[in-house]
Amino acid sequence: MTAHPPLHQPPPSATQPPAPPAPATTETTPPDAATALPTSTAPPTLTPPVPPGRLVVTVCRDAERFGALADAWDDLYRRCAAATPFQSHAWLHSWWLSYGRRGRLRLVLVHREPPGLPASPEPSQPPEPPEPLASPEPSQPPESVRASGAPVTAPAATSGGTSGGTAAAPARELVAVAPLMLRYRPLPTLLPLGLDISDFCDVLLDDRCPQAADALAAGLRRLARTALVELREVRPGAAAERVVERWRGPVRRRADSVCLELPGVPMDDLLRRLSGASARNARRKLRRIDELGISHRAVAEHEVPGAVATMLALHGQQWQGRGVTPEHLRPRFAEHLARATRQLARTGDAALTEYRLGDLVLVSEVTLFSRHLAGGYLYGAHPEARAKVDIATMLLRQDAARATATGRRVLSLLRGDEPYKRHWRPETVVNQRLLLARRHLAPALWLRAGHLAGRAALADLARTRLPILLAWRTRLRGRRAGGPPR
């Protein structure tokens, strides 16, 4: 079999010399809903570093101000090559509206204040003395860090100026975010927003601002005076790895969920990854789909809420009696997914596709897009669909076409190690669980790491030994009942 190169490659380090400026690119959704595809292309080259300025760290605990950060957050999201839609404001703020608990929000924000901008007003509560950052390079001015419990919002103005003829005043610019929440059990821990229903968790770092990682690490360390930091589902090459490199304190790494990835290539190339018999079988299934006349369409933005409701209803029918994920059937998940998908579809970061046989919706799928990656997040299928077509093959063909058309090099099958995914011989990519603590909390970190290691060992034991134990239990019960051993 032909060797396949690694698919996941970390984004260019922010400390490397920047590439020449490139024209700004945007992601838009074509007007034709029947054939709409996200139109973002291959990642642009990095823009030059931001002008020098003071970096200021604050912590936002207020949900309303979280909502007000949308524009500044979206601008930062576009400037972070490692970001996925699970770090977008649309996804995380929607998640907080459905799942957040009062008093638990902790957003670590880093703003750059250009020279000449008056110092930000001090919060009503006196801040603690700032923690020093790593020494800046001689060519760069020193930075200051201010951490407090007072929330902060990004100003409406941006560094890009205004559309009018007059020059805009220098504006504060958001250059880093760590979207976290506080959980008290089993130990006080800072965890990523969106956990459990997000396949990847990460921080956002402005690729133009190398000092943003230092400032975010310092602000995160200040926030972690009485709590551990547990960054879950961190994809290799994520921005969070740059923050961990700058962490002053003990760090533990553990494996998290398994993800499977294919290259973003046309379906014919994916078929070449299979053995001869498997490839012929897949082509036969694709011909069957075409013979049935199954059509597909990208749902328009205004239709997304109703289409998400249809998809989740199909998802419930599809898994009825087969162990459906309970969260997928709860109203809060439906509200979040409809709200977030509509906003992401507006910016070209998501698409909801319906596959129809006549007027009947057979299958519906939500696909998410980042700068380098496309991945099917969730789908629902009519009970009759499984008998008619191979659903996984049908969805993969369309997702591969999207990834190829938009220049995304990775087609992610997201979390899960199911046999139908392994059929396509994907690359295995293991997310990381990163545990951080300050030195005085090292014993708590070791306790948590030991607990996770013990759970992993028990899970492995159950996976390898449980079938044998169950077989022996059945034999013993048969003997006690007087029947022959089985």
Q: What is the pLDDT of residue 35?
A: 33
Q: Are 362 and 294 in contact (CB under 8 A)?
A: yes
pLDDT, residue 453, reads: 77
R_g over Cα of the chain: 25
Query: Among all chains, which residue has been given the structure tokens 């290799």?
Result: 236
Please list, in sequence order, all residues whose beta carbon lies within 8 angstroms of the beta carbon of residue 431, skipping any fewer than 6 positions away: 200, 232, 233, 234, 235, 236, 255, 256, 257, 258, 259, 415
Report pLDDT for 145.
37
In contact, 274 and 419? CB cutoff 8 Å? no
* Cα–Cα distance measured from residue 353 to residue 379, given in angstroms and rounded to the nearest whole number: 9
389 — phi, psi (to 5°)?
Answer: -140, 165
Whole-number Å distance between alpha carbons of 423 and 119: 58
Query: What pLDDT is stored for residue 476 in this prediction?
Result: 60
Looking at beta carbons, which pairs linking 163-171 to residues 24 or more positions away fall under 8 Å? Answer: 169/117, 170/114, 170/115, 170/116, 170/117, 171/114, 171/117
3-state secondary structure the chain: CCCCCCCCCCCCCCCCCCCCCCCCCCCCCCCCCCCCCCCCCCCCCCCCCCCCCEEEEEEECCHHHHHHCHHHHHHHHHCCCCCCHHHCHHHHHHHHHHHCCCCCEEEEEEEEECCCCCCCCCCCCCCCCCCCCCCCCCCCCCCCCCCCCCCCCCCCCCCCCCCCCCCCCCCCEEEEEEEEEEECCCCCEEEECCCCCCCCCCCEECCCCCCHHHHHHHHHHHHCCCCEEEEEEECCCCCHHHHHHCCCCCEEEEEEEEEEEEECCCHHHHHCCCCHHHHHHHHHHHHHHHHHCCEEEECCHHHHHHHHHHHHHHHHHHCCCCCCCHHHHCHHHHHHHHHHHHHHHHCCCEEEEEEEECCEEEEEEEEEECCCEEEEEEEEECCCHHHHCCHHHHHHHHHHHHHHHCCCCEEEEEECCCHHHHCCCCEEEEEEEEEECCHHHHHHHHHHHHHHHHHHHHHHHHHHHHHHHHHHHHHHHHHHCCCCCC
The pLDDT score that the predictor gives to residue 386 is: 84
Tell me what pLDDT residue 37 has.
36
- Residues found in the chain: 486
Max intra-chain CA distance, the chain: 94
> For position 451, what pLDDT does the model report?
75
Provide the pLDDT for residue 118: 62
> 176 pairs with which residues across the strands?
110, 205
3.40.630.30, 3.40.109.10, 3.40.50.280, 3.40.640.10: CATH of 261-431 = 3.40.630.30
Confirm if 181 and 221 have CB atoms less than 8 A apart: no
Domain boundaries, the chain: 54-119+126-161+168-249, 261-431
Tens of pLDDT, residue by residue, the chain (486 residues): 444 444 444 444 444 444 433 333 333 333 333 333 333 434 444 455 666 679 999 999 999 999 999 999 999 999 999 999 999 999 999 999 999 999 999 999 999 988 766 655 544 333 433 333 333 333 333 333 333 333 333 333 333 333 344 445 457 899 999 999 999 988 899 999 999 999 999 999 999 999 999 999 999 999 999 999 999 999 999 999 999 999 999 999 999 999 999 999 999 999 999 999 999 999 999 999 999 999 999 999 999 999 999 999 999 998 887 778 899 999 999 999 999 999 999 999 999 999 999 999 999 999 999 999 999 999 999 988 888 899 999 999 999 999 999 999 999 999 998 888 999 999 999 999 999 999 999 998 888 888 787 777 777 677 666 666 656 666 665 554 444 433
Vertex 368 angle, CA 177 and 210, to 5°: 30
